[in-house]
Every structure is written in C-alpha cells, then in structure tokens.
Structure 1
Amino acid sequence: MTQALHTPPRTAEAPPEADLAALAARHGLSVSGARPSLPQYVRQLWARRHFIAAFSTAKLTAQYSQAKLGQVWQVLTPLLNAAVYYLIFGKLMGTSRGVPDFVPFLVTGVFVWTFTQSSIMAGTRAISGNLGLVRALHFPRAALPISFCLQQLQQLLFSMAALVVILLCFGVPVAASWLLAVPALVLQFAFNAGVSLIVARLGAKTPDLAQLMPFVLRTWMYASGVMFSISHIMSKHTDAPSWLTAVLQANPAAVYIDLMRFALIDSFQGSQLPPHVWAIAAGWALLAGVGGFIYFWKAEETYGRG
C-alpha cells in the first residue's frame, strides 16, 4: 500500500510541435501578436481605412479645442511663422532681393515645409505617445503614423485656402499649372508617411528621439530653401562645387517646395528647378514610402511591449 501511494502518476507525453501546429491550423488559430505577412498587413490596413480617416479628423478637431480662436489657429500658425521669417530673412538678411513675388514664394515654402515637419514630429511620437491605445486594441500599428500624416495633410489644405488668397492679393494669376499642386501633394504625402513610419519605429524604442528631432528638422529646414531661393543663392557663389548645388536641389524637402512654387507662382520658372524634378520627387516618395512601410512592418510585433 505504501508503495502504491508513492508511485508517481503517469502523465501523457506532450504532443510534438508539428502536431500542435497542425491542430492550430485546423481550427484557424494563430499566435497572438504575431507579425502578419506583408500582403496580409496591407489588407488589414486597408480594412481600417475608415478608422484612419476618423482618427485623423478627431485629432485635428481636438488640437485647438481649448483655444478661444479654435480652428483659426490652423491657418494663423503658419501665417505667423511666415511673417517672422519675412521680417528676419526677407528684410534684415535681404534674401528677398532678386526673388520676384517673395511673399508668395516665402508663404508657399513655409506651408509646404510645415507639412513635412509636423508629419515627422507627429510620427516620432505615434507609438510611444499612444501606448494605451496600442496595448488595448489589436490593429495594424502603421495606422497611427499614417493617420497623423493625414491629419497634417488636412491642416495643410486649410492653409492652402489662405495661400490662394495671398497669391491673388499679390497679383499672382490663376493658371492651369495650379493643378500640378495635386500630384505634388500626393508625392509629398507618400514621402512624409514613409519617413513618419521610420521615425515611429525608432521613437517606439528610443523616446529621446522626440527631443532630438526639432534640432534635426531645423537644420533640414535651413538647407531646404524655405526662406530663400537655392538657385539664386548658389548663382552668387560661383566658387561653390557643382555637386553641392545638386545635393541641395535634390533634397526631398526642397524638391516638394519647389514643385509647389512652380505650380502656383507664375514667376517661378522651370529653369529654377533641378533636372528631372518630377522623377526625383517620385523617386523620393517611392523610396521613403515603400521602404519606410516595410521597415515599420518588420517590427510590428514589438510595438507596445515593455
């Protein structure tokens, strides 16, 4: 009897992993939080397109909900930035000399640059600043940085209404070339979304990146011809190497700014654009958009985890 009491019970051997995998597949089960395949991830993201649009609109509405002027700040903020740059660079530093229609030139640059700057800054905090949402709900995490880029696009469209008024007030006529602003904005949105996805992944692991990005973006702004004409400045420095001019003009932010100026301002001629500018703009959009999306997707299962 004592021997029977001390005899350990028989335990069934654990089934091999292959059998468990087959059992899970038979019942349609999958590993929780596992990264889906890239085509499946794209389908999941497309299925949540209404969430992306609604989330971006809600964030835009709430952005200035506590301010007395409310949504007026969507237009007033970039206009005030343009006024400050006009006083400092246009008047004090004289960058307006030799640039026709300098006010429309400057305001267009400020508005288009703000679109890129705000998209990247919002993307930096897209995951780290929304951990509660990421941990509570199951959805493709790329929806967050993309929705923030869409929010900034909506804000730019509000600003564009003010830009049209400024163009007309300074005698810039309505022209068929204004339609070129549409493909330029589409390419810029793809580029912004791709870069936002990249910094969203980096910011998810390194929250200090959000503190560093303002300095990086400010340096980028000064190299992008927001407040001055790159071609006009470089024509004064004939001793500068030719590759420097090519690099400055191929800068993606400068490319999208110049395309918008070319589309909207009749005095901004095609000779001020770098060669093959549309191919460069499409190349940056494809490289950043596709590359950033794949880079973000590769870490999909890590977002929101300690």
Structure 2
Amino acid sequence: MTKRMIGVIGGSGVYDIDGLEGAEWREVDTPFGAPSDAILTGTLAGMPMAFLPRHGRGHVHSPSSVPYRANIDALKRLGVTDVVSASACGSFREDMAPGDFVILDQYVDRTFQREKSFFGPGCVAHVSVAHPTCARLGAACAEAAEGAGSRVHRGGTYLAMEGPQFSTLAESKLYREVWNCDVIGMTGMPEAKLAREAELCYASVAMITDYDSWHPDHGEVDVTAIIATLMGNAARAKDMLRALPGHLEGGAAPCPHGCERALEYAILTAPEARDAAMLEKLDAVAGRVLNKAD
C-alpha cells in the first residue's frame, strides 16, 4: 500500500455520496461476478474514496441476493484499504434509540443462504474473526459521526439475520434477553468476514431505525416509520463520511490491529496442492500471500 483509500458500502437509504472531486462511476469485473452496482470513485478532502451502494441504485438487491464476495473483491481491486459499512438496523436496547449510530465490534451470524468465504476446495484458509472490526477505523468513524452531530454508541453486538422478513416477537426476545445482542440487521454478514479474508480494515456503523418487535410501546416493526427515520439517518451518515478523511491519516502505516495481515498464517493448502483456477480467482483478495516465494 502506498496511500490510504476509503471504501464506503452504503446501506438502505445511502445510494450516493456528495462532494467527491473527479467523481466517476466505474464498472469493475470480478471473478465472483458483478458487484451490486458500478462504483463511484473520486477524492474527498484529498483522500481517495470509492463508494458502492450495497443494494444497488434503486434498491434492487435483497439482503440475501447482495453479491457480497464481488463487492469486497471489487473494492480491493480498486486499491481500497479501509472499508466503512453504513447499514440500517433495529435496536434491542432502550438507550440505543432510533436515530442513534452504533459502532459495531461483534456479530452473531444467523444467515444461511450466502457464500461466506473466498476460499474453498483447492485453496483452504481459516482466518480469525474473534475481533471482526478494526478498532482504529471504528474510532475514526465515531469521531466523525459525533462531530457531525450524531449520537454515537461505541461498541455493540449485531445479530445478522437472513431476512427479508423482520423478526417474530419470540425471536426478538431471544436475541435481546438470552443472546444479549444490541442491534439486528440483515447485511452485516458475511460482509465483515469477507473483508477480513481480503485483509481490509473494516468498520461498521449501524444506523438505528426502530426497536424491532420486542418493545411493548412500539409494537411490530412499522415500515413507514422505518423509512422516515432511515432518510434522516442517511443524511447524517453522509455528514459523517464527509468528515471522515479528517480523522484518518493519509499514509499507509500498518494497522495496529493487523487487519492487513489477516492471511499471514491462514492458508493451509500446500503450494503444490493448490488449484490454479482457484488461485486465479484469489489474485486480488489474497495476492499478497499467494505471490510470496514459498
């Protein structure tokens, strides 16, 4: 890496980003198929930035159909070093109210229809996701969001559900009271796992729209109310993103948490047993380690 580059994955309500100099929508081909949309590239406050709408412009992808592998691979190919995810979510905590932002640091993955790894037969790898987000990047997001006027909670556990339906009341109570999760959403996984496999620093900003279905005073999730809150959250997310470069160093100093070295000892398949076709697909996400002299 020679310079830091921010990649933003925008969730529901965040379909573009304002203020990019030299803005250009770019099509990126990946061996994992097409990303959710073209990627908007440019410079913001002197820092290179790439923006990808997770659901595509016009919201054409459901949470289960988002091409997560293609999205992360495409950002990596463009030179992104730091990925910031902005996504809508429901809250399990009274004090985490609609309109608040949560800087996530943990996940419980309940998705089951999605490809969750770049690796597989022919090149097997196991990466640690004990700490699935980058604390350095998360702190920068928190500072930028607070400076832009948002109420921010630093730290939280995200329950990733498959969707597209919202939770039953029994599920909502289980996740809140037994599993001790803080927020719930449909897109946080496998995105965070794939970013770790691609050796990218990853931070997730969960933007609360509702109290899910557990709250006795709010009843079942009301999509109309969610959309109203979502649009306000989206505007403040854009304010956060415009401020973010000022909270990050422009150089490419090593991440103190080792995000860019996640694959250092993760690949188990012996060099002579690795599948050539698989290696070709992994040229962007794992090229740093695969191209080393063995």
The TM-score range, normalised by the shorter chain, is under 0.3
Which has the larger helix fraction? 1
TM score, norm. by length of structure 1? 0.27
Which has the larger strand fraction? 2
TM score, norm. by length of structure 2? 0.27
**Higher Cα Rg: structure 1 or 2?**
1
